[in-house]
Amino acid sequence: MAAVDRAQKPSFSKSLFLGSVASELVMPYRLQEGQDRANTQRLVASARDCLSTFDAQRAEEERWIGDDTFRDLGERGLLGLFVDPEYGGQGLSQSGYCRVMEEFGRVDGTLSVVMGVHQSIGTKPLHLYGTVEQKERWLPDLAAGRKLAAFAMTEPNVGSDAYNLETWAERQSDGSWLLNGEKRWIGNGDGDVLTVFARSDLGHVALIVEGGSEGLETGPRFDTVGLRANRLQRIRFRDVRVPADNVLGEPGDGFRIAMNTLNNGRMSMGTSITGGMKRFQELALQHTTTRRQFDRALIDFELVEDKIAWLQMQIYAVESMSYLTTGLVDRGEADFALESAMTKVFASDTGWHALNRVFQLHGGEAYMSGHPLAKALRDFRIFPIFEGANDVMRAFTALNGVKALSEHLPDVTGIRISDPAKAVGVLGPYLRERVGMRLRPERLEGASPSLDRHVGAIAEQTARLRGAAEAALRKHGSRIQERQLVQKRLANVVTGIYGQVAVVSRLSAVIGRDGEAASGAERTVATTFLESSAREVGRQLRSLETNADSATREIGRAVRQSGGYPFEL
């Protein structure tokens, strides 16, 4: 459990809110090496081989990836990627695991989700928090694909507000638990090993419930827009007795286990989406180089070429950020919760925009059912929603950063951001004095000297983030918790900076490995992205000061009052 206890570890992005750049956490870019790299490459090749005949259309029609495919994946070790070898797994690092997940994402969105549910959130809690006995009991079967895992948190009345679960676990005198409640939208909910989150008199608990337990009812299955091969289930617990040995961690640890599992799992969404975007690019190239209009290939038009170039830069950025984040996990020295959330938001938003653009380039062709992009459209729409809705993740990122800043200010030690009355009075005068001070920009260390201009831009943006976060605290005090428009912009700024850091860090490593000349084409992609991201961060920073927030809030309130669109033409 100590391995995932991040309480005392430094956070790169929280440091950005303080105006500091914790270079040692992100430099040099962690390129996989040694046995881990070799194992990853072997498993990537095996996944390619196994999935070369995978029929996504058929899986969608049959509404399951197929027992044969699942068995084959298990036999090849592709279902126990991060599980320790002593429990029958491959023991891959987080980067290695996420690299193989990229391969699944490249083949099919649904496949990547089924793999993610089984491994990233289904098997992960046992891997992170299980006792030796619990691991021996369940992990070998899960890693081999003889059993299927699920993560059961969402309920009819509980979605984003996951703390307030209604499923209840009552501890019995013999130490066992009696579980009652209902879960919905649970992938693999009809599986064999379910990590179920509930509340109890002792706080939140994480319980392993085995499929077939008495009182456990599953179904009927949900009929979904996309991801139709993902077995999304309702689950009801009616006095389900869960043995004392099936508690993960300690009673009271359940919420932390759920959040850490999601923090850990979210970054595989980043790499799966990277894989999906690479596939979209293949389709875009295929189509725009062969389809001719106005006597030319579509790609010969500037507006088409521009979209293809944009896609190249976005793939580069999402990939760089995703693997910088997995590298943070592998270093084992950092708190990666914010970076994981930012990666999820950036990848899912960018992936969706990318799909929309590639869809557009296909004209009417992609609109025909059966086209892979039509299916991708249905599959990909869920990514900004599940495993933490993107707006909730933005608020989470900004509030954590601002909280870190408020704790760092010596005069306000002990003020909790969640204590409005106390915080406003003390933060105000202190921050008025501080905000006026011009911070000396802190620079990312260890980057290639040829990227100096971009390192300077990152330093400047970081100093401005610190100033903006302080100004927001001064203006709103602990009411910042309610100011979501401010939170959104702060989150966008820090995500933009983190993305630029990822690209600079990666390109520096590539230049170090291949030399300046060899990395020329990559450099153009990277630096063009850096410039456009810096412009966007500038825009977000400016909109913290000049915006139409009061007017839009007024409009929002008026819409609620009028109950719709009241204007007659």
Q: From the CB of 156, what's the least distance to ligand FAD, in Å? A: 9
Q: Tell me the window of 50-58, 140-148, 319-327, 385-393 that interacts with ligand FAD (CB under 6 A).
A: 385-393
Q: Which of 98, 186, 318, 541 binds ligand FAD (CB under 6 A)?
A: 186
Task: Provide φ and ψ at 106, rounded to 5°.
Answer: -70, -35
Q: Is 33 a catalytic residue?
A: no
Active-site pick, 155, 387, 442, 470: 387
Rule CB under 6 A: say whether 552 interacts with ligand FAD.
Answer: no
Rule CB under 6 A: say whether 395 interacts with ligand FAD.
Answer: yes
Distance CA 219, CA 255 (A): 25
Q: How many amino acids of this chain bind ligand FAD (CB under 6 A)? A: 21
Nearer to ligand FAD, 155 or 253 (CB): 155
The footprint of ligand FAD on residues 118-157 (CB under 6 A) is 151-154
Q: CA 143, 182, 228 angle in degrees (round to 5)?
A: 55
Rule CB under 6 A: say whether 117 interacts with ligand FAD.
Answer: yes
Q: From the CB of 161, what's the least distance to ligand FAD, in Å? A: 6
3-state secondary structure 248-293: ECCCCCHHHHHHHHHHHHHHHHHHHHHHHHHHHHHHHHHHHHHCEE
CA of 458: how far to CAs of 88, 393, 487, 553, in Å? 44, 23, 20, 32
The footprint of ligand FAD on residues 222-261 (CB under 6 A) is 224, 227, 232
Q: From the CB of 385, what's the least distance to ligand FAD, in Å? A: 5
Distance CA 523, CA 520 (A): 5
Q: From the CB of 452, what's the least distance to ligand FAD, in Å? A: 39
Distance CA 118, CA 406 (A): 39
- Alpha-carbon dihedral sign for residues 449, 453, 455, 456: positive
Q: From the CB of 383, what's the least distance to ligand FAD, in Å? A: 10
What number of other Cβ atoms are within 10 A of residue 75's Cβ? 13
Q: Which of 391, 460, 522, 549 binds ligand FAD (CB under 6 A)?
A: 391
DSSP-assigned beta bridge partners for residue 193? 149, 210
Nearer to ligand FAD, 96 or 265 (CB): 265
Q: Which of 35, 57, 160, 418 binds ligand FAD (CB under 6 A)?
A: 160
The footprint of ligand FAD on residues 344-383 (CB under 6 A) is 382
The footprint of ligand FAD on residues 69-108 (CB under 6 A) is none
DSSP-assigned beta bridge partners for residue 233? 186
Rule CB under 6 A: say whether 385 interacts with ligand FAD.
Answer: yes
Rule CB under 6 A: say whether 430 interacts with ligand FAD.
Answer: no
The footprint of ligand FAD on residues 479-518 (CB under 6 A) is 484
Residue pair 308/285 in contact (Cβ under 8 Å)? The answer is yes
Distance CA 335, CA 427 (A): 26
Q: From the CB of 324, what's the least distance to ligand FAD, in Å? A: 25
56 Cβ contact partners less than 8 Å away, ≥ 6 residues apart = 107, 108, 110, 111, 229, 372, 375
Q: Tell me the window of 75-83, 328-336, 388-396, 490-498 that interacts with ligand FAD (CB under 6 A).
A: 388-396
Rule CB under 6 A: say whether 396 interacts with ligand FAD.
Answer: no
Beta strands 149-152 and 193-200, pairing class: parallel
DSSP-assigned beta bridge partners for residue 170? 178
The footprint of ligand FAD on residues 50-69 (CB under 6 A) is none
Distance CA 351, CA 275 (A): 10
**Which of 208, 233, 205 has its CA nearest to residue 123?**
208
Rule CB under 6 A: say whether 386 interacts with ligand FAD.
Answer: yes
Rule CB under 6 A: say whether 109 interacts with ligand FAD.
Answer: no
DSSP-assigned beta bridge partners for residue 237? 181, 216
Catalytic residues: 387
Report the interface residues with ligand FAD, using CB under 6 A. 117, 151-154, 159-160, 185-187, 224, 227, 232, 382, 385-386, 389, 391-392, 395, 484
